[in-house]
């Protein structure tokens, strides 16, 4: 049986998902919707499908899955409407910029019993997933120190920064999820940050450079370093020290060409940007979603995971503002009483 | 205007090309043919196209391109019938195992004036093409020593070896083309080889381990090393020493994960096998073919290139048999009188 | 004119310095002293010199330099007695475990006007010094994020830990100096740490795993990660993100041999331990000391540098104990009023 | 008991050996001789020893070892005179440029029963020796394809080239020995070469670029590539494909610093030149010689090894001149009846 999929959002990331669906024989893209009529129409004709309104899609019983790749402020509503309409939902991160709202979505989804997966794409990157497999298999013993390096090649426009929710919610959210995925939810968060890349970002009340420490009750420590600018490319690395060794993920380079001259030995830059670096991750992510649906197994990235990452971002913001270490409470992650 | 394509051969490599065509908005796969009815039918239903006979395809005026991915012994005839029917032709290497026959194809194609491209996929690998671009741009001065390392992960079945035309024609043909692409046609060939991997290959009259030197009139030297077995994977490297530096292509690894333990630092193996290593090359190759067709520019890999590589394989066979260095004549490459 | 040198301490590090002196034609080792008679005697006969008491050495006007490589608790006194006796002094880090005492040494040395160099060996490692040269030359623009990774292969005996002054003063002191050397003195320190490697270390009141953030007034951030155990060897790396690029120092491996098998590609481990990793640094360090003496130029690592690193260690201890970010005051570094 | 050593030759390589002897407690440098009076005197005063004539040295019964680091044309005579005088001999390669003369030395040495070691320094490089250890231990199964890359950073003066004996005897001799050390003596040699770097070298009757194939009776193949110029530095690599894997030695880089900018990722150049690259090899080589002397075990590089390498150079010259593959006979290596 083929799963019918409707796509919300015909932008850059929507197109990536459309391609994944197209190459998956188990699914069929049947409709697209976007507030930008033209974008929706272009994607529709490329895929030979129709543009429909959100309501039409949600009411159509023949549609099994909605894939939410529209703007962040629509995610929470669409997830709730999707599960209410009985759909399976795949939603790009984040659930919402507001943690309280995200927690309500979690409650709604739990009540609905419908499967929802959050698009934490890095979990499906072959490098990170292979590292995690080795770690979980005990290949380096017990985890001790985790360090995530995550630099964007260049800052986004300030107009985007203003509505992004800030660096912790917009950019470091991926790294928070990575740490939770490998080490679980931390007990405390210490954040520091500054504006070194673009003064306009500072003027907009945000930071562009940040370091966060995640403290675990048993003594494990994770650190995350973010910058909005690495002129050499998209820098996505991780290393994990354990009691019996270390695992690390290096960047994928554009080519393996090396040039040796009197100036030294020159290699290629890291792949630029996330669409290149995580191309395989997006395909695998989709397949994992359909696998979980088909086999009725737990989603590999849940709404709770989305809430957790957002709670860490909120704790980081608080830590930065108040200049102190912040405890991550069960209330923050919606797990309390 | 969309180009209609018919595919000859629904095997492993045929499927790769079908996927490339599918993702190219300028082309449309309309028909497939294969002596294996079942394979043809499977590919046809996956792509929503029809299975047709070779003759029907060639007679159909609405078909612009034939893509030949059938068995080697059909290549020469299909190229000739294709151009005779006015089609543009993309053909997997080699033209034929027989050099004389290949030269006749070259003559037919030239007479027809139709565009034909040979599928030397490695020319479109981003690593090799980026190396060549840097070399042609003079980034390492004048070329002096070229070394190609090309090891398969494991030998093919002996049944395949028996009809393969031998290591030089079947395997090293890619490396001969690589050398011609970078250094041009050499003047002389010295070949040596032995059977170290599988005695059955020796019993079938072939070798599985070989080293060839290509001598250029101006003193440049190229070396090619082949083995049918590298247990760590598909080893595809190249280095080029020039008067002002060196360019090299390293293997692409399966992941960038590194594990450091008391045993040392362990990295991933090279990607296995050609479908993985050259995945991007196949896509780029198809796009380059359609580009050349659309812009009416020279094909990036011609029938003459196919003849040249085959002539070097023949010279290598002669060198191996007679234990002497063999001169590559204009007659061998069909360029004479 | 040859400089006459007397060595305090005939242990492991004393021997390293003796070898550096031996290979320097500008200096001559003339005496050694050590509370361990036997060690002193062994070193003396190897070098054809005499064992003398500390007092004899300090009173001998023909001795130009004293090199202090004795136990930490003797450093402060010997520096003060050395400069009082008119000697030039080279002293292994730290000045003292007590910051107040170190500051007094700084005052004494300043009053004496004698040249004193602290043995921060990593500044002379060809890797770190080459990185710093490139950074100071502006090759990556303005510095933004600095990250130091520094893991020992295995924890020292608990008996040593008990008198070591704790991880921050004993081990991370090198990394504090590295950050000061590259970024200057920070404004604030945030420290976290735990005992994951050896419970005995925790029982002794120390930690074996630590992460520290150094905050700079202009927004730059440095992070230091320490562990007393990396089973794969001595891990000494650094990376520095700037506005126009990144500089990094990787480990030096024991050999450049790689083994590719079905298990992957295996490289050698990092050099073990500091005597191997910093062998060249020790030689260069000594030469830099004699250069500065001979040319009457500033010492490349001063007593103030030693005080600064110790002040950061003290701030880190305070931060760890009180769970808050600690401001580095001018009083701490002895620069106040 | 300390071994007394006299040094023949106070040039660059003589100084290297003098330093090795100095740091070895089992040996003592007692005399030096050189036709360049000044050089001999300088080395003598640095080491506090006396300059003596060759005859005085050879007649002095208290001298145990002579180390021959004088010009090539003196090697054969000095070895013979040394063993005749009952000395142990360490001699820099080659024995002589004339194969017939080298074979006579072999006979003399054998007759004398005195221990003689040839200075094939690369055997003692930690990278190459570690590769060999792994290979001999069977870590990659049976050897199949061996490839040696050996490029000098820049050609020597033509005046040197003229008396050098030619590229095969002067430069590739090290690589011939490396192949013999790993694979044993080959059965046949195919050589090609040209003059691409400096026309003056060609005018002097020599080549500066060469590729040689060594054929082994059991099908194994070794290739050697030489160039007198690699502008990026001294390129010394090796790879060895076996039935169960591959071992390779990469270059040692000047530093481990990497710089990532918009231009790519830049690493340091290989160490320049042999004194840097093989610094540790020279020390280990000397220690291995004294070990063998002390333990009365076979020398790790014998006169026969020197004859073998020279025989391959002669076969390569013949192959180059006559354009054919040359068989290595037992007569060439002096092993015949």
Beginning with the edge strand found earlier in the chain, give each strand of the sheet holding B27-33 in spatial order.
Answer: B50-51, B27-33, B3-8, B65-68, B88-92, B116-119
Radius of gyration in angstroms for the set of CA atoms belonging to chain D, rounded to a whole number: 20
Exposure letters B253-283 (e unless 16+ CB within 10 A, then b)? bbbbbbbbbeebbbbbbbbbebeebbbebbb
Kindly report the three-state secondary structure assignment for every residue of chain C.
Answer: CCEEEEEECCCHHHHHHHHHHHCCCCEEEEEEECCCHHHHHHHHHHHCCEECCHHHHHHCCCCCEEEECCCHHHHHHHHHHHHHCCCEEEEECCCCCCHHHHHHHHHHHHHHCCCEEEECHHHHCHHHHHHHHHHHCCCCCCEEEEEEEEECCCCCCHHHHHHCCCHHHHCCHHHHHHHHHHHCCCCEEEEEEECCCCHHHHHCCCCCEEEEEEECCCCCEEEEEEECCCCCCCEEEEEEEECCEEEEECCCECCCEEEEECCEEEECCECCCHHHHCHHHHHHHHHHHHHHHHHCCCCCCCHHHHHHHHHHHHHHHHHHHHCCCEECCCCCCCCCC
Measure CB to CB from residue B266 to each of C233, C262, C265 and give the nearest one: C265
Question: Do D215 and D115 share a domain, yes or no?
Answer: no
- Do B144 and B7 reside in the same domain of the chain? no
Res D25 pLDDT > 90 = no
**Interchain contact, B246 vs D235, CB within 8 Å:** yes
To the nearest whole Å, the CA of A259 is away from the closest chain D CA by 9
The pLDDT confidence band at residue B23, using thresholds 50, 70 and 90, is confident
Q: Are residues B167 and B67 in the same domain?
A: no
Distance of alpha carbon A303 from alpha carbon A305, whole angstroms? 5
Residues of B in contact with A280 (CB under 8 A): none
CB nearest A232 (choices: D232, D253, D260): D260
C247: confidence class by pLDDT, cuts 50, 70, 90: very high
Identify which of C66, A266, B207 has the alpha carbon closest to the alpha carbon of residue D215.
Answer: B207
Please report whether residue B298 resides in a domain: no
- Residue D335 confidence (pLDDT): 86
The H or E element that residue D321 is part of is helix D303-322
What are the φ and ψ backbone dihedral angles of B23, each rounded to 5 degrees?
Answer: -90, 5
Which pair of tokens denotes residue A254? 């554009």
Non-local (6+) Cβ contacts of D42 within 8 A are D10
pLDDT at A1: 74
Quickly count: other Cβ atoms within 10 Å of residue C77's Cβ.
Answer: 15
Q: Is D294 a member of any domain?
A: no
Judged against a pLDDT cut of 80, whether residue B336 lies above it is answered with no
> How many Å lie between the alpha carbon of D129 and the closest alpha carbon of chain C?
10
Q: How far is CA B310 from CA A66, A303, B109, B165, B326, in A?
A: 54, 59, 17, 11, 14
- The answer to whether the Cβ–Cβ distance between B209 and D244 falls below 8 Å is no
Q: Residue B9: pLDDT above 90? A: yes
C195:A219 CB<8 A: yes
Average pLDDT of every residue of chain B = 96
Determine the Cα–Cα distance for residues D271 and C11; give it in Å rounded to an integer.
32
pLDDT band at B337 (very low <50, low <70, confident <90, very high): low
Interface residues of A toward D, Cβ cutoff 8 Å, are: 230-233, 253, 260-269
Find chain B residues with C-beta within 8 A of A46's C-beta: 25
- Mark yes or no for CB contact B249/A257 under 8 Å: yes
Is D316 in the same domain as D175? Answer: yes
What residues form DSSP beta bridges with C119?
C92
Residue with tokens 């004496």: C112
B85, B62 Cβ separation under 8 angstroms: no
B118 and B267 both lie in a single domain: no
Residue B239 falls inside a structural domain:
yes
Would you state the pLDDT for residue B10? 97
Which residues of chain B make contact with D215, given a CB cutoff of 8 A?
192
Q: Kindly state whether residues A180 and A251 are assigned to the same domain.
A: yes
Q: How far A270 CA sits from the closest chain D CA (Å)? A: 8
- In a domain? residue D207: yes
Identify which of A230, A262, A266 has the shortest CB distance to residue D266: A266
Residue A57's nearest CA partner among A90, A74, A33 is: A33
Smallest CA–CA distance, residue C241 to chain B, in Å, is 21
* Residue A258 to residue B247, Cβ atoms within 8 A: yes
Q: Which of B32, B36, B37 is nearest to B66 (CA)?
A: B32
A22 and A166, same structural domain?
no
Residue C55 belongs to some domain of the structure: yes
Pull the structure tokens for residue D234: 């001294």
A100: Cα separation from own chain's centroid: 19
φ and ψ of C210, to 5 deg:
-155, 150
Structure tokens at A245: 């060794």
Q: Is residue B335 scored above 90 in pLDDT?
A: no
Same domain, C79 and C177: no
**Chain C residues touching B264 at Cβ < 8 A:** 232, 266-269
In a domain, B226, yes or no: yes
Any domain includes C292:
no
CATH of the domain at C157: 3.30.360.10
Q: How far is D337 from chain C (nearest CA, A)?
A: 41
Question: C170 in a domain, yes or no?
Answer: yes
Write the CA distances from B200 to B155, B156, B158, B159, B165, integer angstroms: 11, 11, 7, 10, 15
φ, ψ (nearest 5 deg) of residue A66: -110, 135
Question: To the nearest whole angstrom, how far is the Cα of C77 from the nearest Cα of chain B?
Answer: 42
Residue for token digits 């890999």? B301
Same domain, D242 and D277: yes
- Structure confidence at residue A337 (pLDDT): 55
> Is the pLDDT reported for residue B233 higher than 90?
yes
Last residue of a domain, one of A120, A144, A172: A120
Q: Which residues contact D26 (CB under 8 A, 6 or more apart)?
A: D2, D3, D290, D294
Say which residues have a Cβ less than 8 Å from residue C205's Cβ, sequence separation at least 6: C166
Q: Band the pLDDT of D337: cuts 50, 70, 90.
A: low
**Cβ–Cβ below 8 Å for C256 and D250:** yes
**Burial (Cβ within 10 Å: 0-12, 13-18, ≥19) of residue C45:** exposed
- Chain B residues in contact with C232 (beta carbon < 8 A): 260-262, 264-265
Asked if D271 contacts D253 with a C-beta cutoff of 8 angstroms, the reply is yes
Residue of chain B whose alpha carbon sits nearest to that of A252: B256
Is the distance from CB of D276 to CB of B263 less than 8 angstroms? no
Q: CA-nearest residue of chain D to A267?
A: D265
Which residues in D195-217 are b (16+ Cβ under 10 Å) and which e?
bbbbebbbebebbbbbbbbbbbe
Please write the tens of the pLDDT for every residue from D28-82.
999 999 999 999 999 999 889 999 999 999 999 999 999 999 999 999 999 999 9
Write the residue in D46, D256, D259 that is nearest to C127 by C-beta. D256
Mean pLDDT, chain A cut into blocks of 10 residues (337 residues total): 95 95 92 96 94 97 98 97 98 96 97 97 98 98 98 97 96 98 98 98 98 98 98 98 98 97 96 92 97 97 98 98 97 85
pLDDT-based confidence at D125, cuts 50/70/90?
Answer: very high
CB-closest option in C250, C260, C268 to D256: C250
Q: How far is C9 from chain A (nearest CA, A)?
A: 35
Mean pLDDT of B174-198: 98
Same domain, C102 and C174: no
On whether both A135 and A221 belong to a single domain, the answer is yes
Q: For residue B227, list chain C residues with Cβ-Cβ distance below 8 A.
A: none
Global pTM? 0.96
Distances (CA, A) of A147 to A297, A312, B301, B322: 30, 16, 47, 61
Of D121, D149, D169, the residue that ends a domain is D121
Q: What tokens were used for A201? A: 């970002």
Last residue of a domain, one of B122, B157, B175: B122
The answer to whether the CB of D243 falls within 8 A of the CB of D141 is: yes
Domain count along chain B: 2
Residues A93 and A169 in one domain: no
Cα A216 from Cα D275, distance rounded (Å)? 51
The 3-state DSSP class for residue D263 equals coil
- Residues D251, D152: contact at Cβ < 8 Å? no
In the 8-state DSSP scheme, what is residue B23?
T
What pLDDT, on a 0 to 100 scale, did the predictor assign at position D177? 98
Whichever domain contains B10, its CATH number is 3.40.50.720
Task: Write down the pLDDT at residue C337.
Answer: 54
| Partners of C28 in the β-ladder | C4
| C336 pLDDT more than 80 | no
CA–CA separation, D73 and C276 (whole Å): 39
Q: Using CA atoms, how far apart are residues C89 and C75, in angstroms rounded to an integer?
A: 11
Domain that holds residue B269: 124-282+305-327
Query: What sign for the dihedral angle of Cα B187, B319, D175, D103?
Result: negative
Q: What DSSP designation does D123 have?
A: G
Residue D99 contacts residue D307 (beta carbons within 8 Å): yes
The answer to whether the Cβ–Cβ distance between C246 and A227 falls below 8 Å is: no
Element (H, E) at D283: helix D279-295
B227: chain D residues, CB-CB within 8 Å: 144-145, 241
């Amino acid at each position: 049986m083929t799963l019918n999929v409707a796509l919300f959002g015909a932008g850059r990331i929507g197109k990536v998902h459309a391609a994944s669906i197209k190459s998956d024989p188990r699914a069929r893209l049947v409709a697209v919707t976007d507030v930008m009529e033209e974008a929706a129409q272009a994607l529709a004709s490329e895929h030979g499908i129709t543009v429909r309104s959100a309501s039409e899609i949600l009411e159509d019983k023949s549609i099994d899955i909605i894939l939410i790749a529209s703007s962040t402020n629509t995610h929470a509503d669409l997830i709730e409407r999707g599960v209410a309409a009985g759909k399976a939902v795949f939603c790009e991160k984040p659930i919402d910029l507001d943690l309280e709202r995200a927690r309500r979505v979690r409650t709604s989804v739990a009540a609905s019993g419908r499967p929802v997966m959050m698009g934490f794409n890095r979990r499906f990157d072959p490098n990170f997933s292979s590292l995690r497999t080795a770690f979980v298999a005990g290949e380096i013993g017990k985890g001790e120190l985790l360090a995530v390096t995550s630099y964007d090649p260049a800052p986004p426009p300030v107009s985007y920064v203003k509505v992004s929710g800030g660096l912790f919610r917009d950019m470091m959210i991926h790294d928070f999820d990575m740490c939770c995925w490998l080490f679980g939810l931390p007990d405390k968060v210490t954040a520091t940050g500054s504006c070194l890349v673009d003064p306009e970002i500072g003027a907009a009340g945000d930071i562009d450079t940040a370091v966060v420490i995640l403290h675990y009750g048993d003594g494990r420590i994770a650190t995350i370093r973010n910058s909005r600018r690495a002129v050499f490319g998209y820098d996505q690395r991780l290393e994990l020290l354990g009691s019996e060794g270390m695992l690390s993920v290096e960047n994928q380079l554009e080519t393996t060409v090396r040039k040796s001259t009197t100036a030294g030995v020159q290699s290629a830059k890291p792949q630029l940007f996330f669409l290149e670096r995580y191309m395989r991750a997006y395909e695998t992510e989709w397949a994992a979603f359909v696998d979980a649906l088909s086999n009725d197994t737990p989603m590999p990235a849940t709404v709770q995971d989305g809430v957790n990452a957002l709670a860490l971002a909120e704790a980081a913001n608080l830590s930065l503002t108040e200049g102190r270490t912040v405890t991550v409470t069960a209330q923050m992650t919606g797990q309390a009483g």
